[in-house]
Amino acid sequence: MSVALTKGGNVSLGKHAPGLTAVRVGLGWQVGATGGAGYDLDASALLCDASGRVLSDRHFVFFNNLTSPDGSVRHSGSDPAGGSGGDDEQILIDLTTVPAEVAKIVFPVSLYEAEQRGQSFGQVHSAHIRVVDETNGTEIARYDLRGAAATETAMVFGELYRHGADWKFRAIGQGYASGLAGVAQDFGVDVLRPTPPAATAPPVHPPSPAPTAAPSTGTTDWDGSGRGPAATPPQSPGSSTMTCFFDPQHGPGSTTVMWSPQWGVPRQIQTCGGCAQRVQTTPPPYYTAPQAGYPQPVPQGYPQQGYPQPVQQGYPQEPHQQQGGRRFGTGALIGAGAAGLVGGALLNEAFDDDEPEVIVNNYYED
């Protein structure tokens, strides 16, 4: 007596048919009046390992591959032998020759070109899968699917699986809205996977030409509005418009250094190479380089250790003057000279004629 199964139910084939060696799995369906012409369903079989993946693409048995590599599973095609029981397609399984690595055989049914034709299992009002003893034609188990799917385009009806030394059958009824491609993704059938679109290389755009500077007309300002003076032409690399801060005759101010003046805060200046070295090697406050015709400042107080103080010959030195000191006009020079002469005369009176000559404000007195 056949066992009627519901979704998820299973039955032991060996217990109901002792000594069973081969079975025929029959699959059938009926399409409703809304199905229209060209409604085509195809049954198949997947020989899977213990992980649930098909052993190879050749172990996917369907209308284009009617026999498994070992010959244990054979598809009858669209015209099943016998045609009894309302089967539309049948698959014969020789249980004695199924490879040992095959843990289960899955039976899906799919709609041919369902997406292009706008078809689904919602138009199949009844379908079934049944297991028959191939030796005597006795039906062992049956599972009827009624209204189990609405938008699905493929469905796994059931499966045969090993249970120790026995074989069992399970009713599944799992639908796939993605058709046979969804079945392929679950069971690893590469031949059923949709071909991915060919990768296209990104377009190569030619480099944009560099903008050409418009000739200056003397009426364009920095933002190009035409409301200001002409922009300053760019300087050529390596050139400098600044001369040496300490003496323009030294040449261009090619080096930037930090300078501490006597009055004001330290700031950056541009000098020639020689003056830059002098500023960087002389402790602040820095002194101004000697120039002809002007008295040079002499720092007041004790000289700094390790740095001898320069003494300029030929001009009187003014105390309390350091780098950046003020230059004296002609009147100041005359006054300073007169004061020096008077001071020299007074000193001469205080010393004998036999004393060695004395330097007073850098003037030699007899």
- Res 214: pLDDT: 46
Pairing of strands 318-319, 297-298: parallel
For the CA atoms of 158, 34, 77, 145, the dihedral, rounded to the nearest 10 degrees, stands at 20
Round the CA-based radius of gyration of the chain to a whole number and report it: 55
Strands (E), 67-199: 73-75, 89-94, 104-111, 124-133, 139-145, 154-163, 166-176
- Res 268: pLDDT: 80
Query: Long-range contacts: 73-76, Cβ < 8 Å, 24+?
Result: 73/45, 73/47, 73/98, 73/105, 75/43, 75/44, 75/45
In whole numbers, what is the pLDDT of the chain averaged over residues?
73
Position of tokens 């191939």? 134
Between CA 202 and CA 207 the distance in angstroms is 15
- Res 79: pLDDT: 58
Q: What letter represents residue 79's amino acid? A: D
Phi, psi at 178, each rounded to 5°: -95, 10
For the CA atoms of 63, 69, 71, 73, the dihedral, rounded to the nearest 10 degrees, stands at -50
145: β partners: 127
17: which residues sit within 8 A by CB, 6+ positions away?
133, 138, 140
244 in Cβ contact with 271 (< 8 Å): yes
The answer to whether residue 341 scores a pLDDT higher than 80 is no
Nearest to 179 by CA among 243, 113, 130: 113
Exposure b/e, 4-37, CB count within 10 A at least 16 = b: ebeeeebbebeebbeebeebbbbbbbebeeebee
Burial of residue 71 (CB within 10 Å: 0-12, 13-18, 19+) is exposed
Structure tokens at 61: 């048995």
333: which residues sit within 8 A by CB, 6+ positions away?
295
Angle at 349 between CA 343 and CA 350, to 5 degrees: 90
Give the global pTM.
Answer: 0.53
- Res 157: pLDDT: 96
Q: How far is CA 164 from the centre of its chain?
A: 52
- Res 82: pLDDT: 42
Q: What is the DSSP string of 54-89?
A: BS-GGGEEBTTB-B-TTSSEEE-TTS-SS-GGG-SE
- Res 238: pLDDT: 44
The answer to whether residue 21 scores a pLDDT higher than 80 is yes
- Res 40: pLDDT: 87
Structure confidence by residue, pLDDT tens digits, 169-203: 999 999 998 888 889 889 999 865 555 555 555 55
- Res 274: pLDDT: 83
332: which residues sit within 8 A by CB, 6+ positions away?
none
- Res 266: pLDDT: 77
Structure confidence by residue, pLDDT tens digits, 118-152: 888 888 888 999 999 999 999 999 999 976 567 88
Structure confidence by residue, pLDDT tens digits, 245-262: 777 778 787 788 887 776
Position of tokens 């249970």? 163
Distance in Å from the first CA to the final CA of the chain: 153
Structure confidence by residue, pLDDT tens digits, 27-83: 999 887 665 567 789 999 999 999 999 999 999 999 999 999 999 999 998 755 444
| Position 100 confidence tier, pLDDT thresholds 50, 70, 90 | very high
The answer to whether residue 228 scores a pLDDT higher than 50 is no
144 in Cβ contact with 26 (< 8 Å): no
Q: How far is CA 331 from the centre of its chain?
A: 77
For the CA atoms of 110, 116, 118, 124, the dihedral, rounded to the nearest 10 degrees, stands at -20
User: 293: phi > 0 → left, psi -120 to 50 → alpha, else beta; which?
Assistant: left
User: 85: phi > 0 → left, psi -120 to 50 → alpha, else beta; which?
Assistant: left
